[in-house]
Structure 1
Amino acid sequence: MLSRDNLPAISDMTGMQFQERLTRHFQKETANVGGFPEAPLAYDAVWALALAFNCTRNNLPSHIRLENFSYDNKIIADTLFQCVKNTSFRGVSGKVMFSDSGDRIARTQIEQMQGGKYKIMGYYDTTSGDLEWYNKEQWLNGRGPPPDSTVIKKHAMTVSNEFYYPTIFFSVLGILACVLIYIFTQKHRERLVIFQSQPECNNILLIGCSLCLFSLFLIGLPSDDISVPESLFPFLCHARVTILLFGFTFAYGSMFAKVWIVHRMGATENQQLASRQKDEEENTPWEGIRTLISTMVGRQALMRKSSGQAYGALLEKRNTVLNQPISPTKFYVIVAALTAVDIFVCFVWILIDPLHLTEQKFPLFTPADSEEDEMIMPVLQQCQSNQQEVWIGIIMGFKCLLLVFGTFLSYETRNLKLRFINDSRFVGLAIYNVAVMTLVTAPVVTLLIHGKVDANFAFISLTVLICTYISVGLIYGPKIRHIIKVPPSADEVQQNGNTGPAVMSKVDQKRYDMLRKENETLQKQIEEKERKIHECRERLEQLTMNSETEDMNAQLLSGSNKQLAEDNMTYSTATTLTTTIPLIDLQLNGTHPGQIYANDNDDDRSSTSSDEILL
């Protein structure tokens, strides 16, 4: 590389003069002479060495000579290095100087051999950092400059199309099914099989299943054909978590709300029955009457209900809590509470520890179908946060607790039948399915196949698809089948495995009217008996008062006789006063007073005969 100016160098030659002088020594083309382009640099290097030697000789101590140089002499080596670093002159290749590390500081000429000859491509000035480029370079087959080392290419590990597109197909199919089912149920919302199944709660189930299915679109990204820019990856990470989380809460929460309310209503009904039985045993009017009569007559009074069969039948026909309408607000409150927990956890997570893109690198491997000097580095793009294990543990712990508790409630309420939740049995089966699938899949995905993209996506997608399809099928399948097969005019009670009759046929309606009339008749008879009981109580109280008056008179008479005896100094044996209390006729059908029924096991003459008191 020659100096670009025509100024004379330290040798009194310009760069062109040096090149002409050197060319005259060769008998052949200089392009074929090895090292010819570097000759000016070598010439200036010799000058730099000579100047460094002169500087070293002049700066050495008097007792040390340059001719005594050896590689073990540190004084000469340090002096020579310092002189080379301070060397600066104009050479035939340009300005000659050296860096602190001993490298030449000069303009660099960039050349390329084209057609067997070197051609200048440009210059680079290391002192100023300027690059002068002529754009004359040529590359083999137009592929660009050859690599100076092994090329390492990153390969993003994405979900394969064989898994992604079938999953998307079934997801779209499931979302369309949810939309069609919603339209179908809205069209037939007046049918009792829909009306008495809490359709508002079932609509929340459809929304949750649709969100879960839609989340599979995002969980499968990036795929082989779909890439995601790094700037959008944090948004994708948060969208995956929130959509799947809210979808699960809506879908499972709606079913959990049903079994919870069924369980609470069943517990309330049991408490009311126990309280009613206790009140009937302790506060029955017959117990008080029997105690009063036993006190009066000195004998145990046995009581027998001749109308017990009719009374028991009446109790069985009462309108229980399980058959009362249920406000949709109760279901909304439960689902809203579960959703509020998810919103709080997601908000805190995103606020203090947001998700971001991380790359997990795997060992390099050589591609089998490539002839280039390159290797492939598999890279797994993941959504990660600093304390992700803590957040995943909180969410999974809460959801697993709900799954286990929901399974327990479903088992506890398996025999309860509510008229206005006529699909609770199928809801329980759906909860069993969701609990088993989720509790099995979650540990596998989290712990075992976390780094395997296709296997991870396959487990998640299969779990979501199976749970949503089975849940929607169990909840809506029997209803759709009933609506299709049974016309509205013949809409009768369905034995759907959970509730009894939801709507009565003409025969049942007639039977119901007869029972209602019989209940009214029995109610009147009970009121009449209560009136007679009240009269009996009044008569007993009057007799009690008369008895007490007679006792007092007897005591007064006894006192008078005693006084007279003392006055007359005469004595007699004790006199026993016997007071006879007439037997009270308490038979409500008008039997003659004083009659005693010895046999209390006689059959009743009718189901509405009065109760008898046996003395």
Structure 2
Amino acid sequence: MYKELYNTSTTKIMVLGAGCSIVTQPTAQASHLWNLLQLSYSSASPKLSERDLFPKFFRMFPPETVFNVVKFAMLHHFNWRKVATLHQTIELFSLPTADFLTGARLQGIEIIASESFSEDPSLQVTNLKKQGARIIIGNFYENRARQVFCQAYKDGLYGEKYVWIITGWYSNEWWRVRDPAHPHDCTSEQMDEAVRGYFTTDALPLSLAQHPGVSGKTTEQFWEEYNEYVGGNPESLSGYQEAPYGYDSVWTIALMLQEAEEMLQRMDPPKSIADFSYDDDEIADIFYNIMNKTNFEGVSGPVQFTAAGDRKGLMQVERQIGNTEVRVGIYDPSRNPGDELTWSQENPIIWQGGRPPLDSIIERETRVNISFAIFIVMTALALAGIIMAVAFLAFNIKYRAKRYIKMSSPKMNNLILGGGILAYLSIIFPGVDSIDIDDVTFVWMCRSNLWSLAIGFSMAFGAMFTKTWRVHRIFTTKTAMRTMIKDYQLYGVVMVLIILDIIVFGFREIFDPIFLDVQTSRQNQDEDVVLVLLRRTCTSHYVVYWNGSLLVLNGLLLVFGAFLAWETRKVTVPALNDSKYIGMSVYNVVVLSFVGVPVSLVLDDVNAHYAIIANFVFFATTLTLCMVFVPKLRVRNEVEPKGTMFSTMGNSHNQQSITEPAPDKKIRMLSDRIENLQDRLDKKNNRIKELESCVIPSSDATKGECSSDLSTERCEEAREQAGPSHHR
């Protein structure tokens, strides 16, 4: 163009071309300096729409940005709300991609990935796969398109689950072309598979009108003449799709010059287009105004220009079927909003999967609750345990006057049963989640579970171990008759344990309260749907330390209980000594804890987690209660059951004392003294006051008797420690 402009032998009137945007942009920036209009038949860069840089430029082919409206119409039609973009980093593709991203935000379409490349696109295509892209908008030259689709084949980014929408002006069967400058390592068969079913958006190259246009030819006539001119098979020619635009470009210039000549001839004095010179602004303005008003029916459709010099006209959607691209839709911007895109009835879209693919993997959130059936079963077991504990409690109260029951500290047994009931309730609280409670209630159920289990454990095992501690004190004190531990003292010990639990939980609620934590996991339901499982749990920031403190306290309690059970193992009065059953209870709790806690930590299934923990609590509690109370049920109707101190005393008189063990000898002596005191109280009630005031009778026999007998207070101590009974 430089040579022609400075060729003074002829004066140029207009510039026709160029075909590529990279050539058109520099020439159009210069041609207006010579007052020349420039018309391109196929340049598509959005940059050319900037009137301040290209004031006298027009083009027959619409810019790439225009096709974004067609893409948006497709996305809305197929309900695709999540898309990804991939473009080559040159102005021709960067600008329309940027325009698409802006429009997507305005139209509520989510961009899940936006990748760009300048050379090898392999990494960017792989990233699209990693981001879960299903609907991909591509803007790149066809030499890069072959590399893109080769990598898409390798990454599995093709098939019935994926849709590619690319530019529509590639050559025929472009994916089968081998370009040494831009090689790829996929076979023709692999490329055929990778590109199958892609969509393109493009300007409508041929008019849909059945009547002849301004040239006097219909679209069919033009195409026949074109085929004949190129010798058949025009698809094999590069750029054959732009032929109608080139034809209409020539007609546009011809019509403009014809009208300009007529206007110039009507001027006074008359002028002609032959009078045009590079500094003739008047004729240049006439050319420009006529070009802006261009309106005729060409072989490529209606020819009109916008204020930016861009072509107005119809656009099309094509789809790759077999070895060719088939028109499946037409976009008419002149129609009512929402109805611009019309789908072809002759070439309906047939999807590989029978329906349009989804725009992304659907994530369906579902809350993971405990199975209602499991909750019912565990609640039934817990209620059965509570009923059993209440039955034991009723038995303990009814038969509390029985010698065997009285000697086993019935009041402490009541605390054991109360702790067992709290433990059973702790089974029910976490299972309430099965009825889909709200978050606030769920947190309160967590608190109730923790408090009831911890306090129930301290109450049950604290009571069990403290009454064993009393037996231990009795049989390890050198002067047995001077050992006195009353029930209220044992209550105090149990209360201390409960208060320790309350202090720990109280500080936790103040400084580190528990809160709801929703844990998520993903489960593939099928190729299109992923279930996002929401599992609610209760936690706190320092949950490990709080749980550790409770484990230490309860662990020390179990160790202490095991020590007492070992120390009192040789006491042969079952009514007093539960050491064997305590040892078994401690063993069960420890074993179940060592098995249950690790298993519950590794299990992700909420039902299995709940069922295992609930079963461990149920069996540990039930075994403990049964081992403490079932032996008492068996001897409830015996006056002096085997193993009480009185049956032991009777048997001991028939045996040689020389073979009697030291602990048994203490029991026998204690039993003899209690029996003696009970007889004296029945016969000499009138002397109680005298004994309390230590009034000593005058007789020597009485003095000896008084000095050897216990005071009333010592009598009461002995009765409480050895199992008190009613006065006879």
TM-score by length of 1: 0.49
Largest Rg, 1 or 2: 1
TM-score, length-scaled by structure 2: 0.42
